[in-house]
Amino acid sequence: MTPRSAACICPMASSYAAFERSNYEAQRSLSTTCSVSGTTAEQGHNAAVRRRVLHGRRCSRGRPAATRFEPITVCTSTLGDLNTIRIATWNLEWATQRTANWPAIERRLEEVDADVVVLTEMTVGTAVRWPHVIDAGTHLDICAGGKRKVAIVSKLPLTLVDPVGSPDLPPANFLAVDVHVPNGEQIRLIAIVVRWAERRRYIQHFPAALDANLAPRTIVAGDFNHQHPATSGLALELEEILRSRGLSVHTAGSHPELGDERGLIDHIASTPDLPLAGPPLIWPRCDPHYRGGQKEVTDHAGSAVDFVM
């Protein structure tokens, strides 16, 4: 967990992320006695950063896009001297280290440089770069072999809390852990996949699973399989379940980063005792570095949120 500027995906992001990673372990040991104001050498960093926003026509998985996504860089202000933790979520659509889209996925994850990532529809080989990994296990009919419907990968230590949620939920689609942050505190992270084929069953039994695991400083992240804010149906039921328990969906709304792609369905919500450090970071399904931006890297856009510690 390191002090951050505003969320960014940009041409300079790779070098910025590499700088952060090279200092990560040293800062983590220094930060164990820090308050929110912090004492690490990076605290004084207040330089402007740039954010890439991708606009354009929707790309497809099998045919060229009407208009290719082109990168546009705009300046954003920094967040100042804050300690933050970045939580991200992305559905990898069962990519492996051998699939053609893996270099694009790996590059994007490096640019986002999250401290903790909820990966959905992932394979175990794609988590090898992370020092801490916990997944929800396998199920013969859903995710056999090396497939996992949901996993949490992290730079920070994790403790398993609940790999089931409720016996009535679709199996292997729920995971709760505690994330141990450098100041000695912990965050409860609940990772979910509202399985599309069983979404009514999931939403019906999700309240019991959530109530059994809800704690101070809780984040719920993953594949919600619905756009938010919602106006009707199961999506609205899911939103009401979260809202009635004090959780706000920080990634709701429209996102110019997606161009005219379909809306975001991979979301991050939290309890009010985790203040935000800035707007969410959203990345589209298409990437100009992958097949000229004419095909989706995965069938999901991704999201990340910075929380103040």
Is residue 55 a part of any domain in this protein?
Answer: no
Q: What is the pLDDT of residue 3?
A: 53
Is residue 62 domain-resident?
no
Q: The whole model's pTM is what?
A: 0.77
Q: Can you give the residue range of the structural domain that contains 138?
A: 84-308
Is 200 among the domain residues? yes
Domain for residue 297, yes or no?
Answer: yes
Q: Is residue 217 one of the residues assigned to a domain?
A: yes
pLDDT score for 209: 98
Strand-by-strand arrangement of the 174-180 sheet:
158-162, 174-180, 186-193, 218-223, 266-270, 248-249
Mean pLDDT in order along the chain per 10 residues (309 residues) = 48 34 35 28 30 36 36 33 85 96 96 98 95 92 87 98 96 97 94 93 98 98 95 93 98 94 96 97 94 93 96
In a domain, 27, yes or no: no
**Residue 19, in any domain of the structure:** no
Pairing of β 84-91 and β 116-123? parallel
pLDDT for residue 117: 98
pLDDT at 97: 95
Is residue 48 a part of any domain in this protein? no
Tell me how many domains the chain contains: 1
Domain CATH number, residue 179: 3.60.10.10
For residue 231, what pLDDT is reported? Answer: 83
